[in-house]
Amino acid sequence: MMDEHNSQPGQIIEISIDVPTGETSTGGSKFCGEAPCGLSDAGSKSKDARERSASIRKLLIAVVLCVVFMSVEVVGGIKANSLAILTDAAHLLSDVASFAISLFAIWASGWEATPRQSYGFFRLEILGALVSMQLIWLLAGVLVYEAIVRLIHETGEVNGFLMFIVASFGLVVNIIMAVLLGHDHGHGHGHGHEHGHGHDENGHHSHGMTISTPHHHHHEHPEDDHCHGHEDPADHHSHGDHADHHDHEDHAHHHDDHVEPLLDKPTNGPKQKKGKNINVQGAYLHVLGDSIQSIGVMIGGAIIWYKPEWKIVDLICTLIFSVIVLGTTIRMLRSILEVLMESTPREIDATKLEKGLLEMKEVVAVHELHIWAITVGKILLACHVKIMPEANADLVLDNVLNYIKREYNISHITIQIER
Amino acid sequence: MEKSDSFKYYYPSEKESQNSWNTGFGLSVSDRRLAFSRQASFDQAREPHTPVSINLNDPAKPLLARSVSNIDIPTGLFYSLDESNKYSGEGNGSAQKFSFMLFVFSILRIMRSGNRYMKRLFVMISLNVAYSTTELVIGLFTGRVGLVSDAFHLTFGCGLLTFSLFAMAASRKQPDRVYTYGYKRLEALSAFTNALFLLFMSFSLAVEGLHAFIQDESEHKHYLIVSAVTNLLVNLIGVWFFRNYARINLVYRNAEDMNYHSVCLHVLADSIRSAGLILASWLLSLGVQNAEVLCLGLVSVAVFMLVMPLFKATGGILLQMAPPRIPTSALSKCWRQINAREDVLEIAQARFWEFVPGHVVGSVSIQVKKGMDDRTTLQFVHGLYHDLGVQNLTVQTDDV
C-alpha cells in the first residue's frame, strides 16, 4: 500500500489520504503515535459533544430565565421611575452577557480543528471562563462604586425599603439559577427540562429575609416533581455536601455555612473526572457572586430602612461581600491561569512519571519533558527519551506510550527517541 | 558528549539563521511596523533560546546545551526519595508562593534592577495612584459623584497596570518543574487582560452614550473639565514614555513587545477618553446639541478599533494558534520536503504553536520504514524546522 514511496529519490509525491472527520493536521492520516489520538477520535468526540450539549442546554435555560426577569424588572423600573430597579436590571443584563459569552465559548470549542488551529478550539472554553471572571471582578467594582454613590447622595432619596425589595428579588432569581446551574442533570437523566419548568412556576413565592428559608422552600414545595432531582445528587459525589444542605433546618442567618457547601461544588469540578464544564462552573460562580452581593445590599437596605442615619453600613456591607465574592473566584482563576501558562497540570506528578520512565530497561535519560493541558480535562505530553544504542526503538516507544497512557491517561503524547 | 552531537549545529549560527528567517518573510529593518524601526540590529530580539539548565547536581554539564534541560535527571545516581520530595515540593510550593512573595519583592526590586520600561511603568502607576486618590478624596468630601466615578475608573486602570508590571517582573523567572516553558506567558496574559479591559471600557462608553441619548441630560458638569485635563496630561506622559509602541498594528518579536504595546494602548485609550470629554464639554458650551452622545460614541469606536489587533494577537497566542509569522506555505513546503525523503513514509501530524511571540514549539509525528537511520532523519527534520524558527521540536518516528 505504501509502495508509491519507493520511486526515484528527489521526486516529490503528494499523498492525499481520505481524512476522517476531526483530524487536525494538514492532510495527515489517522495515526498519531500509533494510537488513537485522544484529541480527536470518535469516542471522545461524541462524549465531548454530549457534555457540551448538556452544558449548552443548562446555560440556555439560565439565559432565558435571566432575560425574562430582566424585562420584568425593566418594565417595573420604568413604571415606578426608580433608579435602583433599573440598576438591578443592568446587573441582570451583565449576567446575560456573561452567560452569552460562556455559551459562545462552549459552542465554539466544538469547532473542527483547522491547519492554523491545529489543536482544535478547546482553549476557547478557558478564555471564555477568563472573560467571565473578569466580568465578575468588574461588577464587584461597579457595585462598590454604587454603594459609595448611595452614600454621597445625602438627599435621602435612598429608599431603604425599595433597595431591600429589589435586592431580595434579585437574590431569588440568582438562587434559582444557581440551583439550575449547579445540579448535574445533564448526564442523561433527562430531567433537565422539567427541572427548569418546575422552578419557573415556583419561582416567585417568597421574599424571605434569610437565605436559608427560600432555599428550603425551593426544595420542599415542588417536592413532587423535584424528588428525582434530589435522589440523583445522592449518587454524584460532587453533591455529597448537598445532603448537608437539607439538614440545615435552622433558619438563622448562617450564610457562611450556607456558602461553604455551595463553594465546595465548584472546587470539586476540576479535580474529578466527570467535572462540570468550566464555563458552566464560571456561570455558576457568577450567579453565586450575584447572590452574595444581593445579600449584602439587602442587609444594607434593611439597616437603612430601619435606621436611616447609618448610611455607612451599606458601604461596609458591600465592601465585605465584594471581597467574599472575589475570594470565590480565586480558585477558578488559579486553574485558568495554570492552563493558560502551559504549566504541568496539578493532577499529574511529573517527577513520578519521569522516574517511571527511567526505570524502564533501555531508557538512559529523559529530556525536555513538557506536560500541558489544552483545557481542564485534556492533557498533552512531549518529551525526548534517550535510549541505549542497541535497543529496539520501536519497542521502547511502544512501552513508553503504553506506560504513560495506562498510568496517567494523557490523551496526546509525542515522544522523540534518541540514541 | 554524545547526545549533543546530533544537534550541535544549532549553537553557532543563530544570528544568521535568525536573519535569514526574518528577511525571508518580509520583515526588513525599515519595516515600519516594528517597534524600534530606527535600530538596525536585531540584537535585542531574543535569539531562539532553550531552557537554561539549572541542574545543580552536575556542574560539569554545559549550561546552554541544546539537549540538556532542567528536567534532566541522570540515571539513578543522584535520585533519592527526599530529592524527589524536594523537587515536587519546590514545584508546588513555588507555584503557590509565586503569587505572593514575588509580588512583594518585585516592587522593591524594580527600581534597582528593572529595565527602562519597568521603571517608567512604575513611575506612571505611582502618578496615577496619587492622582486618583486625590480625586477620590476630593470627590468624597465635596460630594461630587463625577469625580468619584472618574477616580474609580482610574483605580481599575491602575490595578491593571500593576498587574502588567508584576507580569514584567515575574516573567524573568527561569523555567522550573511546574512551569516547564517558563513564565513569559504572563506577559501575553497581561496584554490580553489589558486589551479585554479596553474592550469593556469601549462598551461601557457606548452604553453611557446611549444613556445620555435617552436621558438627554448632561452629566458632565464643568468641574469635571479640570479633572479631565489633568487626566489627559498624566496619560500623555504615559504615552510619551511608551512612544515606541504607539502603533495599532505592531509586529511582536518577543513577549515584552506585547506587554508594552498593551500598556501604551491603555494609556492612549485613557487619553482619548479624556480628550473626548473635553471636546464634548467644549461643544456643549458652543451650544451643539447631543455633543456628548457624539463624542462618547466617537471615543468608543476609536478605542475599539485601537484595541482589536492586540486582542486578536494575544488571543491567538493564548489559543495556541499556529504562529502567525510562519506562513502555511512554508509549513507545507517543509511537509513536502520531509515526505520526499526516502525513508519517510508519511507525516502523521505536525502541530505548532507559540509560547510567546518568537518562541515556537512544535511536535511532529512521522512514519518511517524499518531499519532506517533515525539520527539523520531527526537531524534533517530538526534542521528544517529550526530554519523556520521552531525552537522546541519533538519528533516522533514510528516504524511501520
What does the pLDDT read at residue B187? 92
Half-sphere exposure of A156 (CA within 13 A, CB side): 3
Least confident range from A79-83, A167-171, A285-289, B72-76: namely B72-76
Partners of residue A17 in chain B, C-beta under 8 Å: 346
Neighbours of A361 (CB within 10 A): 9
What does the pLDDT read at residue A271? 42
Least confident range from A101-105, A270-274, A371-375: namely A270-274
Q: What burial class does residue B249 get, using C-beta atoms within 10 Å of its C-beta: 0-12 exposed, 13-18 middle, 19+ buried?
A: exposed
Q: Does B189 touch chain A (CB under 8 A)?
A: yes
Partners of residue B76 in chain A, C-beta under 8 Å: 358
Q: Does B193 touch chain A (CB under 8 A)?
A: yes
CA–CA distance, B391 with B378 (Å, rounded to integer): 14
What does the pLDDT read at residue B100? 66
CA–CA distance, B242 with A331 (Å, rounded to integer): 34
A370 and B181: CB-CB below 8 Å? yes
Determine the residue among B54, B200, B363, B367 to mutate to test chain A binding: the one whose Cβ has the most chain A Cβ atoms within 10 Å. Answer: B363
A340 and B392: CB-CB below 8 Å? no
B339 and A12: CB-CB below 8 Å? yes
Which DSSP category does B322 fall into?
A: P
Share of chain B above pLDDT 90, in %: 23
Q: Which helix (H) or strand (E) holds A384?
A: strand A378-387
What does the pLDDT read at residue A208? 35
Q: Compute the count of residue pairs across chains A and B with CB atoms less than 8 Å apart.
A: 226
What value does the mean pLDDT take over residues B79-86? 39
pLDDT in tens, B36-70: 544 444 444 444 544 444 444 444 544 444 444 44
**Mean pLDDT rounded to a whole number for chain B:** 76
B331 and A351: CB-CB below 8 Å? no
Q: What angle do CA A23, A349, A356 make, to 5 degrees?
A: 90
Which one has a higher pLDDT value, A254 or B32? B32
E-assigned strand segments in chain B: 344-356, 359-368, 390-399
Which DSSP category does A400 fall into?
A: H
What does the pLDDT read at residue B7? 42
Q: Does B219 touch chain A (CB under 8 A)?
A: no
pLDDT in tens, B205-256: 898 888 878 776 655 556 678 888 999 999 999 899 888 888 888 888 888 8
A358 and B73: CB-CB below 8 Å? yes
Confidence class for position A89, pLDDT limits 50, 70, 90:
confident
CA–CA distance, A272 with B284 (Å, rounded to integer): 59
ipTM greater than 0.95, yes or no? no
A397 and B396: CB-CB below 8 Å? yes
- B298 pLDDT exceeds 90? yes
CA–CA distance, A308 with A329 (Å, rounded to integer): 33
- B14 pLDDT exceeds 60? no
Measured CA to CA in angstroms, residue A185 lies from A179, A233, A272 at distances of 11, 9, 17
pLDDT in tens, A317-375: 888 888 888 888 898 899 899 999 999 988 888 889 989 889 888 888 998 899 999 88
Which one of B51, B318, B355 has the shortest CB-CB distance to A127? B318
What does the pLDDT read at residue A294? 83
By C-alpha distance, the chain A residue nearest B3 is A419
Cβ pair B351, A25 in contact under 8 A: yes
Which DSSP category does A345 fall into?
A: P
Measured CA to CA in angstroms, residue A397 lies from A40, A354, B67, B72 at distances of 21, 15, 19, 19
pLDDT in tens, B309-348: 999 999 999 999 988 888 888 888 988 888 888 888 888 8
Confidence class for position A156, pLDDT limits 50, 70, 90:
low
Determine the residue among A86, A364, A370, A386 to mutate to test chain B binding: the one whose Cβ has the most chain B Cβ atoms within 10 Å. Answer: A370
The sign of the dihedral angle between the CA atoms of B329, B335, B337, B339 is negative
Give the three-class secondary structure for A120: coil
**Mean pLDDT rounded to a whole number for chain A:** 71
CA distance B243 to chain A (A): 28
A2 and B400: CB-CB below 8 Å? yes
B143 and A154: CB-CB below 8 Å? yes
What does the pLDDT read at residue B79? 37
Share of chain A above pLDDT 70, in %: 65
Give the three-class secondary structure for B3: helix
pLDDT in tens, A199-219: 333 333 333 333 333 333 333
